[in-house]
Structure 1
């Protein structure tokens, strides 16, 4: 099963960086152009220059965002802004945030290296589809810099929470880093070099598969980079650092491990007619319409509560098409979905709320092809529950589909079946902060047994 290893992380030198939060960044794939500009201005050593450098008009094959990232990475180490730990360790990483309706939540995990495995081995299990463009981009960056800058978010299952108990004393000490990001999320990091704790972590993961929660493109990039390096060196033992990748490991049984929904906005539908669409929905769903006061926060909050309650009993999503009405769509019979999948598809995939939306509603009833969905020609994905109402009410979008969260058990079941969910099926919040630890893939270096 999963093989993990401690490593000598490259980290920001806190003697030279007075405000660590000024050099951190979210994952590259959630950084807008506006946020990119902001991060550039915050600190000349902000990690955005490595993970998502700006594109210049004069860029060519030898001078581009990847070569500049490599130059920054090298010079920052030479200046002592980035320093590498002297001995291998693992890094405990807690994120504390406020979840509406729950209160303060702490998600606990740790950062280490994991041996890269082909998906066919069943050791590492994906649950979402990937696109070629981001993988090419990340591979170019990895080749130029020889490093993992952003960890992959991995899940394992341990109902006994063994590692949490073992590391309780270590995480009760003063953390190496303690900061709060723009969203109010508190990030705390502890370096652990205790060989007993490291060995227990290795033993725990040695018997378990890993599920990719976030970072599918980064993991497939690591696979491609490993294969590229194996071709370059010819002979390899399997312990070289390019055979491993930086990963954050979290227990899916942890109470702080929550999945949030991603809602869908639909636009640019030609000749769309709401009464006809509602009539078509009636064949497959019990459609219940309720009044909604858009200007009243309590009314919107009640709408979310009703959606959650209905979702606990049956597969339900909500439709907003403007005005003061909200439609709750409850699938009449899960067997309905059998007609939209081939016989090989697992039941777990067929009856996901996102599968019901994408296969039945978007593809069959609204005639938005899978290719158009993948390219987001008619779709926009949003996290905030209130945003869809404002977007449709303003006329910028025609429809909004409000979703319940995908369950952790559904992620596990779909991944175990070797299948992929539609895009944006899961939203693991908060995102991992990029810049806490970096993994330098040093030439000729191997992992420590």
Structure 2
């Protein structure tokens, strides 16, 4: 099923890499304006390629990349490799150090209908177009997306652990996460990675916009290239792959914020919700995320002057009219988007993807602050999603609403870049790949 290839990436030269922590950056969809402006001050920070500045941003990134290549600021590795990437992290309320283990490689860009790579959420068109433009101009995958494979035997972990004895980079990133990179050059070991993934389906965990950008660019190039073979660089996409069976795979909740609703009245909203939900007032809104924790179909509603926990009446689950299989209807996210956002707030399901009334925030503290300061009209606090829920959605062929999952921690940008430019992508004669 899934075809992967080792990579021969571009990386910062040895002198610059001595301060690699000054060259890394958050992904384009999580970097804040403040972080962005700070990172722009370093002329070699990867932010210049991932989120380039200016009205002609993609052209600026292309020009800068050419300058970096010419000056030797970045150099392409001589050998193909599987790049092992570990992320060590902790979570609030726990002293345990987790380690998310995975590896970075090229994956063939499969169409959704091939059912080799499975998506679990929708994309937003504007973000996809932005990613295509940068990819087309730079011919570079600046950061890996995050994919999931399933291997209950954990065969690849022994090779990855061995590689990690000799790290290339080790930094602490903006999330407080310790990121470590190493590489496997052994051809026989690389072939084990290729063989094991060959019969797998891959679930796209994070990076739907970047992947869809690669997919659309591939279709564009296929149409233009009369001699298309399927081996060209534009057929591939950079991906970080982790095992779904690992205990250290964490998915954090993404809350919904509501704004710009005309004649918004919290009491009127509650009247609309009353037929569907059981209400429980909450004295201290700072605890509402803990009060709903682990409870199915339970949500925290934050308003400027009060907070309330709502939980769907069990018999109401059969009132969902959306054409979904039962296991999808029973997801917390489906309940929230159907009963609260469509039925009560009046934002129909077909319009939710592009609605400016609905925004997303992963920080409970931010949600509370934005409600109190009236930056938004209300917040809907939700529970996290399990890996089993993600699998259910992917295997059903349906998708969740956009921004449904937050696989933590985020991959960082700047450790390596993967070219799809033909003379940089194709295998040199001395390599077996």
The answer to whether TM tops 0.5 is yes
Shift of 1:256: 1.4
1:235-384 aligned at under 5 Å gives the runs 235-292=227-284, 300=286, 302-309=287-294, 311=295, 314-323=296-305, 325-333=306-314, 336-342=317-323, 345-370=324-349, 373-384=352-363
Cα pair 2:252 2:408 within 8 Å, conserved:
yes
TM-score (norm 2): 0.93
Q: Does 1:401 align with 2:383?
A: no
Q: Which runs of 5+ in 2 are unaligned?
A: none
Other structure's SS at 2:29 match: helix
TM-score (norm 1): 0.90
1:4 is aligned to 4
Instruction: Give the 3 Å change call, closer, same or farther, for CA 83–7 of structure 1 in structure 2.
Output: same
Shift of 1:46: 1.1
Shift of 1:165: 2.5
Other structure's SS at 2:105 match: strand
Instruction: Give the 3 Å change call, closer, same or farther, for CA 80–392 of structure 1 in structure 2.
Output: same
Shift of 1:132: 2.1
Other structure's SS at 1:15 match: helix
Cα pair 1:372 1:378 within 8 Å, conserved:
no
Shift of 1:184: 1.3
Shift of 1:259: 0.2
Deviation per CA, 1:217-268, whole angstroms, max 9, x where unpaired?
A: 1111111222222233312332222211110001122111100001122223
Question: CA–CA distance in 2 between the matches of 1:24 and 1:124?
Answer: 28
Shift of 1:102: 3.1
Shift of 1:142: 1.4
RMSD: 1.9
Shift of 1:276: 3.2
Shift of 1:54: 1.1
Instruction: Give the 3 Å change call, closer, same or farther, for CA 334–355 of structure 1 in structure 2.
Output: farther
Instruction: Find 1:91's aligned residue among 77, 80, 83.
Output: 83
Shift of 1:164: 1.2
Shift of 1:394: 2.7
Question: CA–CA distance in 1 between the matches of 2:24 and 2:210?
Answer: 19
Question: CA–CA distance in 2 between the matches of 1:74 and 1:412?
Answer: 41
2:50 is aligned to 51
Q: Which runs of 5+ in 1 are unaligned?
A: 57-63, 295-299
Instruction: Give the 3 Å change call, closer, same or farther, for CA 334–194 of structure 1 in structure 2.
Output: farther
Question: CA–CA distance in 2 between the matches of 1:338 and 1:203?
Answer: 46
2:369 is aligned to 390
Q: Does 1:26 align with 2:20?
A: no
Instruction: Please say which of residues 162-171 and 184-193 is displaced more in the overlay.
Output: 162-171
Question: CA–CA distance in 2 between the matches of 1:380 and 1:336?
Answer: 25
Cα pair 2:124 2:354 within 8 Å, conserved:
no
Shift of 1:322: 3.4
Shift of 1:376: 4.2
Cα pair 2:297 2:332 within 8 Å, conserved:
yes
1:61 is aligned to none
Shift of 1:358: 1.4
Shift of 1:112: 0.3
Instruction: Find 1:157's aligned residue among 125, 150, 153.
Output: 150
1:59 is aligned to none
Question: CA–CA distance in 1 between the matches of 2:283 and 2:212?
Answer: 46
Cα pair 1:222 1:245 within 8 Å, conserved:
yes
Pairs aligned (count): 427
Shift of 1:18: 3.3
Instruction: Give the 3 Å change call, closer, same or farther, for CA 327–82 of structure 1 in structure 2.
Output: same
Shift of 1:123: 0.3
Shift of 1:384: 1.5
Shift of 1:337: 4.8
Shift of 1:98: 1.6
